Amino acid sequence: MITSKDTELLRNLGEDHCFPRGYPVIWQPGQRLHLCGFYPKFKNDAEYRSISTEGVSRLSLTIKWSGFLFALLAFSHENNYYWVVTSKNSANCVQSPLEDFTQLAADVIASELGDTLPFAIKLLADRKTYLCGECLSMSDQGHGYSYHKDAAMITCAGKYDNQYRAEQDDASLLLHLPLSEMRTLAQECGFRCVQQLEVPSSKVQRIVDELEAMRDFLTLKTTMRLLARYGLPVEQFREHADIIDSDTLEGLVMHYHYSGKPSLRVKWKLPRYTFVTTLLRPVRKNGISSSRLVDKSASMAKSWCRTQEGCDYFTCFGVLAGELVKDLPGGTLVAPWISAAEEVLALEHGELLRRGRQVIERTRDQVSAALTKSKHILHVQKHDSIGCALVTFTSSEACQRLLQLGARLDIGGVVADLKRHTDKTTGQPSTDTVFVAWGRQQELSSPVSSEALLASLESYISGSPNASPIVLPEKRPVAPQRSGWQLRLVLRGIMGSGKTTLARALASELKAAYISQDDYAHHGKDARRASFLEEVRQATASVLVLDRVNSLRRHRAEILEVLHGDGTAVLLSLHHPLDPPGQDAGEGALRLAETRILQRADHQTLSGNRTDLSSILRCTANLMEPVTDAEVAAFGAHIRVDMTLSPQDAFAFVLEQLESLGLAERNDAAQWAIRAPFPFDIASAQ
């Protein structure tokens, strides 16, 4: 079985080649390889985000089921029929969290099909067809809700013969059956199967608006009532109620079909379920408590909730359920995090808020008490939304003592950047306040509590033997020393134009040092620019790939200013072919960039869920200054890259242009490598 733990790799392979999440292979010597697999990995929402319904011709809506993913593979050998079960990550399931999953899944399947099991196995084997789905077992109630009974829900089906062939134009490794054929096959075998609800275009806008408005508190029953009010079928929701012992929905798979542009499929996950699996389960396993639990609950609520009411409710829910889950006994049929969630959800809305606020206030009092006891720290102002804090000390000496330890410190196992705070009013460096930043992504995944920050900094200043600064790893491997000439590839283009995808591909192929200003997003506007340029100045790799918007001429010029020694800089500008000549951020580029950003779940600097996304893009586009002839001469070369190309085609195009400029070549192993030109008179590639 071919598997991968690299989520981003699976997403890319899924988009490019329909590569499945789990890839079981049945080999019958002398006959053929039977290839099968789950649906390709696509992006989960990392937070709440709204999807545009403009131009939607119809909407397909399916319940997202939560269980243990299985594949049922049937085959014949010497006139006998056999069947096996795999998980998505293991053929024998030894490495699965549930070690006896194979037997559990087999028991559930046998129970579901009863006497029709032999018929189903023969049918699947003869048709060379396989089934995948969610195994909902009473012995595996550790996901986001409990079950009334065992069930196997088919969510995917395909044929062994649907595999990649070199002579075909289709590069997909697998082709799955459409929903109608999958449902027919599942029914013939006697299985349950996911259902799809089609919302006509005349009702899409109203239904999506109402779902959005209710999203924070959406449940199975409220969703059923909403859809029934519009005269839409709710059979799949009734089936959910028959199997799942909870009013909780994990979410919906929403497939938006647009007129004139590609369809968009998203997992519309709901906070009620997500808090159970993403907050309460780690709280139970890792013992998260006190202010760290409050911070993590608040951070998750801000990411997943649409309204302030939802943020308040789920912050309190997370705190109460998080405190409760630590005290519940283990070894029960239903996991403690599910039991804790259901107990807290049973509280009246107002009572939940009252109790939750009491716990939060008590926790804040503990932080205040810790500040009172602190010898050197006067105040901590933490900003959850961006993962940073302003720390004010009792004296300038204490502040200076901390700064002397270095620009990066270990705060409870988290790498944080440290610098003196600049007063916004006077513009002068503060003598007693520092800015500590660990970043938004770190804060979302594992928040740094005010208590942990306070304790770590106090230990550093006090000179505790156990608090000496550790040698922190670099953000990326140290670039190799270069002996002479250096190739510098400088990207230019608005957000969503494909810069980063292209830059990373080039860096990987040419073994280059990849430097992105986004890596310093938590430093603040001026500091991240300075940090980016300093890393460029110090880079010694033979190839640099520099990823930044570079809209203004002075932005491009300052990069050239910090580069030193022999080398050639090449400017790579992303543009849309329908935009006027010389305009690299016109209407065509804006539309495509916005579509791409809406499709990505999260980003360090610009997420698709921002309501001001269009205005941000247009503002950036308005600042995009054309490249002048003088700039082309200063850079040495200017390559304009069509942003509508696929990532593979854009990558290939740039390498071919570099080859034509005499800056790159293929070796005997068909791998790309750079070569220093002579003489240095490189023309512009338009």
Q: What sections of 514-612 are H helices per DSSP?
A: 525-538, 553-562, 587-599
Most confident of 58-62, 468-472, 677-681: 58-62
Q: What mean pLDDT is predicted for residues 307-328?
A: 95
Q: How far apart are CA 538 and CA 544, in angstroms?
A: 11
Which pLDDT score is estimated for 190? 95
Instruction: Return phi, psi of residue 428, to 5°.
Output: -100, 150
- With cut-offs at 50, 70 and 90, classify the pLDDT of residue 461: confident
Sign of CA dihedral 573, 576, 577, 582: negative
Q: Is the pLDDT of residue 8 over 70?
A: no
Sign of CA dihedral 581, 586, 588, 593: positive
Peptide bond into 118 cis (omega under 30): no
| DSSP secondary structure letter of residue 279 | I
Mean pLDDT across the chain, nearest whole number? 82
Is 638 buried (19+), middle (13-18) or exposed (0-12) by CB count in 10 A? buried
For the stretch 250-272, pLDDT in tens is: 999 989 888 878 888 888 889 99
Q: How far apart are CA 410 and CA 316, in angstroms?
A: 30
Instruction: Find the helix packing angle between 308-325 and 349-373, rounded to 10°.
Output: 70
258-267, 428-437, 438-447, 500-509: least confidently modelled range: 438-447
Most confident of 289-298, 352-361, 526-535: 352-361
Q: Is the pLDDT of residue 232 over 90?
A: yes
Q: Is the pLDDT of residue 158 over 70?
A: yes
Q: How far apart are CA 295 and CA 297, in angstroms?
A: 5
Q: Report the percentage of the chain scoring pLDDT > 90.
A: 36
Q: Is the pLDDT of residue 119 over 90?
A: yes
Q: What mean pLDDT is predicted for residues 450-468?
A: 76
Which pLDDT score is estimated for 84? 87
Q: Is the pLDDT of residue 489 over 90?
A: yes
For 374-462, the fitting CATH number among 3.40.30, 3.30.1360, 3.50.30, 1.25.40 is: 3.30.1360
Ordered DSSP codes for 472-531: PPPSSPPPPPP-S-EEEEEEE--TTSSHHHHHHHHHHHTTPEEEEGGGGGGG-HHHHHHH
99-113, 144-158, 199-213, 519-533: least confidently modelled range: 519-533
Q: Is the pLDDT of residue 379 over 60?
A: yes
Question: Pick from 580, 571, 585, 570: which is nearest to 497 by CA?
Answer: 585
Which pLDDT score is estimated for 28? 72
Q: How far apart are CA 264 and CA 257, in angstroms?
A: 7
Place of tokens 């131009």: 55
For the stretch 525-582, pLDDT in tens is: 556 788 888 888 888 888 999 999 998 888 999 999 888 878 899 999 999 998 887 7
> What would you report as the CA-atom Rg of the chain, rounded to the nearest whole angstrom?
28
Q: What mean pLDDT is predicted for residues 334-341?
A: 95
For residue 572, is it left (φ>0), alpha (ψ between -120 and 50) or beta? beta
| E-state strands within 306-454 | 377-383, 388-393, 408-411, 414-422, 429-437
Q: Is the pLDDT of residue 507 over 80?
A: yes
Which pLDDT score is estimated for 328? 92
Q: How many CB atoms lie within 10 A of CB 6?
A: 10
Q: What mean pLDDT is predicted for residues 183-205?
A: 94
Which pLDDT score is estimated for 414? 80
Which pLDDT score is estimated for 673? 85
Q: Is the pLDDT of residue 91 over 80?
A: no
Q: Is the pLDDT of residue 111 over 50?
A: yes
For the stretch 593-639, pLDDT in tens is: 888 888 764 444 565 555 567 777 887 888 888 898 888 888 988 99
Q: Domain 486-674: give its CATH superfamily.
A: P-loop containing nucleotide triphosphate hydrolases (3.40.50.300)
Which pLDDT score is estimated for 471? 42
Contacts of 431 (CB under 8 A, 6+ apart): 396, 399
**Residues 16, 171: contact at Cβ < 8 Å?**
yes
Q: How far apart are CA 397 and CA 378, in angstroms?
A: 13
Instruction: Return phi, psi of residue 457, to 5°.
Output: -65, -40
Looking at the chain, how many residues does it have? 686
Which pLDDT score is estimated for 641? 94
Higher pLDDT, residue 343 or 35: 343
Q: Report the percentage of the chain scoring pLDDT > 70.
A: 82
- Tally: H helices and E strands in the chain: 23, 24
Three-state secondary-structure class, residue 470:
coil
Joined tokens for residue 95: 């490495």
Sign of CA dihedral 537, 538, 541, 544: negative
Q: How far apart are CA 385 and CA 47, in angstroms?
A: 13
Q: Which residues of 182-221 are buried (b: 16+ CB within 10 A; e: fewer)?
A: bbebbeebbbbbbbebebeeeebeebbebbbebbbbbbbe
